[in-house]
Amino acid sequence: MGARPRSFYVLAAVFGLFVLFLYGPVLTILILSFQGPGGGLTFPMRGVSLHWFRDLFGPQSIGDIWGAFDRSLYLGLMVMVLTVAFAFLAGLAFRRRFKGATLLFYIAVASLVMPSVVVSLGIGAGFELLGIERTWYTSALGAHLTWTLPFGLLIMFAVFNRFDPSYEEAARDLGASDYQTIRSVVIPIVAPSLIGVALFGFTLSYDELARTSQASGSLNTLPLELQALQTNASTPNIYALGTLTTALSFSVIAIALTVFLILQRRRARLGSDAGKGV
Amino acid sequence: MTRTATSYLQALPLAATFLLFFVLPIGLVAVVSFFDYQTYDILIPDFTFQNYQDVFSSAVTYNTYVITLRFCLVVWAITLCLGFTIAYFLAFHVRSTTWQIVLFLLCTIPFWTSNVIRMIAWIPLLGRNGLVNDGLLALGIVEERQEWLLYSEFAVILGYVHLYTLFMIVPIFNSMMRIDRRLLEAARDAGATGFQTLVNVVLPLCKPGIAIGSIFVVAIVMGDFITVNVLGGGQIASVGKAIATELSYLQFPPAAASAVVLVAITIVMIIGLMRIVDIRKEL
């Protein structure tokens, strides 16, 4: 390892500025959410207080934010569970050739890159024609899955491309059934990646807006509510709400990373008893 | 049970979800685009080309496409340059794997937070009384407060770059990490300068990553209506926003016709990019 070339410092500076660009704006609304009671939507800060957070929890709170928050949370959890389950199963299926595999793969990719407004329009029109009411737990759930499942599937591809099938062969040679092989061999090995899929499933759903727009029916999810509030926001309580929901996203990311690391450690510790004379 | 039957069963939940909530709805958009509509009856089965005639005969359509394609081109160029630079730094200049992971995560974490919040966050910075205006005034760069920073094409482009550069960084970084480091040594041994190595070795090997990133950015910008809504204000109309506006008036058939045209154009652009790359090999 020699001295670093000059280009390193230039690129490091670019990277630093990019990170500032990435986090700076959110940091400003985080600061502004602690605005004093007399403060406005922009700097300067007129004192520091929790006034606007209390305002959110107050009786005359803006819009239906807590209802929207609950809906987004439950929807995110449902999408997370379904994304992990469906993507994992499909990942297993794709390890063997089957007729239609390529078509299904291209449909998944198409679902990922299809403009969200078109997906939303199609689902909305479908429910409208069938005379079924659009709700967040039916049409919006489906709309979210069209967005999270492709990510889940692509992650499972990446995982199974690197998966050594000799573990399963060993399990089968020892007399494990198909179910036992998956339950005791495959799942523990891919568990950290499933945490990754879960993280994508929850956060992408919790923050989804474009595909939800025509699919959520009369009750808003939190991002829809936020977008609606933003257009006529007059007090910093919208920043307080932004700070809270960002804090929730960060907690979810932190939990996912922690569980991921714990599983990695556990695997390193328990993965092999070779040479231990067990 | 045969192996193939197992595969079908395992793929069934995913396939059924895509069929119900993606394939059929998209097909329905194509069907509805030929429907008729009235104020109180928003979907009247019919076979009329009226909606398409309206799309193609309206000057608004051409204007929105000019704006949208301009967004696409500018945002693509900026995110590509920026994404490539960041990925290059992470892949070739950061030497320890731990730091590589930490810095990579630093770039990706915002992806898992709310896009709406990240858009709204620009408002107190770019507004008339925002921080940027304060700074420019204090430094004496401008004489009076600038209005073009927010609710303008500039703000929308800034928002896109802020939100979607990540989609370039990840696939390009992935391509770069697969480059055999001995190739770079060989290039150096053969007398190539750093810049020549970059252009003749690294860049060609990053093509698949660049193509995947470009597909994402192009597809998102072509269909977006939210960034345009939040940061563009009322004046700017992209194709996606025009469709969203029609939908807000419950005009499904004309919105569907616009959507079909949008999808057709986006597909042509993506097929062009797909020729460069086989996505499945890249994972």
Structure-block tokens of residue A230: 């933003």
Tell the burial category of A214 from Cβ atoms under 10 Å away from its Cβ (0-12, 13-18, 19+): buried
pLDDT band at B3 (very low <50, low <70, confident <90, very high): confident
3-state secondary structure at position A232:
coil
Helices A65-93 and A139-161: crossing angle, nearest 10°? 40
Beta bridge partners of B44: B36
Q: What is the reported pLDDT for B279?
A: 60
CB < 8 Å to A94, chain B:
7, 11
Q: Which amino acid is at A247?
A: A
Give me the torsion for CA of B63, B68, B72, B75, rounded to 10°: 100
pLDDT tens by residue, B17-39: 999 999 999 999 999 999 988 77
R_g of chain B, CA atoms, integer Å: 23
Distance CA A219, CA B19 (A): 25
3-state secondary structure at position B44:
strand
pLDDT tens by residue, A7-35: 889 999 999 999 999 999 989 889 988 98
Q: Do B113 and A207 touch (CB under 8 A)?
A: yes
Beta bridge partners of B36: B44
Q: Is the torsion defined by CA of A80, A107, B49, B55 positive or negative?
A: positive
Residue A240 has pLDDT above 80, yes or no: yes
Residue A198 has pLDDT above 80, yes or no: yes
Q: By C-alpha distance, which of A230, A229, A212 is closest to A221?
A: A212
Residue A1 has pLDDT above 60, yes or no: no
Nearest CA to CA, how far is B219 from chain A (Å)?
Answer: 6
Element (H, E) at B134: helix B131-138
Second CATH level (architecture) for the domain A64-230+250-268: Orthogonal Bundle (1.10)
pLDDT tens by residue, A156-186: 999 998 888 899 899 999 999 988 999 989 9
Question: In this structure, what are the phi and psi dihedrals at residue A274, rounded to the nearest 5 degrees?
Answer: -60, 135
pLDDT band at B1 (very low <50, low <70, confident <90, very high): low
Distance CA B91, CA A117 (A): 35
CB < 8 Å to B222, chain A:
115
Q: What is the reported pLDDT for B12?
A: 94
Nearest CA to CA, how far is B130 from chain A (Å)?
Answer: 6
Q: Residues of chain B with pLDDT > 70: what percent?
A: 96
Q: By C-alpha distance, which of A207, A200, A252 is closest to A83?
A: A200
For residues A213 and B116, is the Cβ–Cβ distance under 8 A?
no
Distance CA B18, CA B51 (A): 27
Question: Please, what's the b/e burial string for B198-235 (b: 16 or more CB within 10 A of its CB; e: otherwise)?
Answer: beebbeeebebbbbbbbbbbbbbbbbbbbbbbbbbeee
Question: In this structure, what are the phi and psi dihedrals at residue B39, rounded to the nearest 5 degrees?
Answer: -55, -45
Vertex B206: Cα angle to B183 and B154 (nearest 5): 140
If you average pLDDT over every residue of chain A, what do you get? Answer: 88
**Which range among A177-181, B75-79, B259-263 shows the weakest confidence by mean pLDDT?**
A177-181
Nearest CA to CA, how far is B111 from chain A (Å)?
Answer: 9
Element (H, E) at B156: helix B153-177
The CATH number assigned to the domain with range B59-282 reads 1.10.3720.10
Q: What is the reported pLDDT for B114?
A: 87
Q: From the centroid of its chain, how far is CA A186?
A: 24
Residue A275 has pLDDT above 90, yes or no: no
For residues A128 and A197, is the Cβ–Cβ distance under 8 A?
no
3-state secondary structure at position A231:
helix
Q: Where does chain A have alpha helices with state H?
A: 6-32, 51-57, 65-93, 101-113, 116-130, 139-161, 166-173, 178-181, 187-206, 222-231, 237-270
Mean pLDDT within B7-23: 94
Mean pLDDT within A235-255: 89
Q: By the CB < 8 Å criterion, does B14 face chain A?
A: yes
| Sequence ranges of the domains in chain B | 59-282
Omega before A44 within 30 of 0, i.e. cis: yes
Q: Do B121 and A4 touch (CB under 8 A)?
A: no
Helices A6-32 and A237-270: crossing angle, nearest 10°? 130
For the beta carbon of residue A100, count every other beta carbon within 10 angstroms.
12
CB < 8 Å to B28, chain A:
122, 125-126, 129
Give me the torsion for CA of B226, B230, B231, B236, rounded to 10°: 70
Nearest CA to CA, how far is A277 from chain B (Å)?
Answer: 33
pLDDT band at B278 (very low <50, low <70, confident <90, very high): low
For residues B71 and B160, is the Cβ–Cβ distance under 8 A?
yes
What Cα–Cα distance (Å) separates residue B193 from each residue in A1, B75, B201, B265, B283? Answer: 19, 30, 11, 41, 31
If you average pLDDT over every residue of chain B, what do you get? Answer: 89
Locate the chain B residue with the closest alpha carbon to A102: B280
Distance CA B185, CA A137 (A): 56
Mean pLDDT within B251-271: 91
Beta bridge partners of A48: A35
Q: From the centroid of its chain, how far is CA A259?
A: 15
Q: Do A246 and B113 touch (CB under 8 A)?
A: yes
SS (H, E, C) A129-145: HHCCCCCCCCHHHHHHH
Q: Which amino acid is at B29?
A: V
CB < 8 Å to A238, chain B:
120
**Which of B28, B43, B117 comes nearest A246 by C-beta?**
B117
pLDDT band at A94 (very low <50, low <70, confident <90, very high): very high
| Sequence ranges of the domains in chain A | 64-230+250-268
Nearest CA to CA, how far is A272 from chain B (Å)?
Answer: 24
- What pTM, to 2 d.p., does this model score? 0.90
Q: Do B114 and A249 touch (CB under 8 A)?
A: yes
Give the residue carrying structure tokens 């449909």: A107
Locate the chain B residue with the closest alpha carbon to A198: B112
Q: By the CB < 8 Å criterion, does B18 face chain A?
A: yes
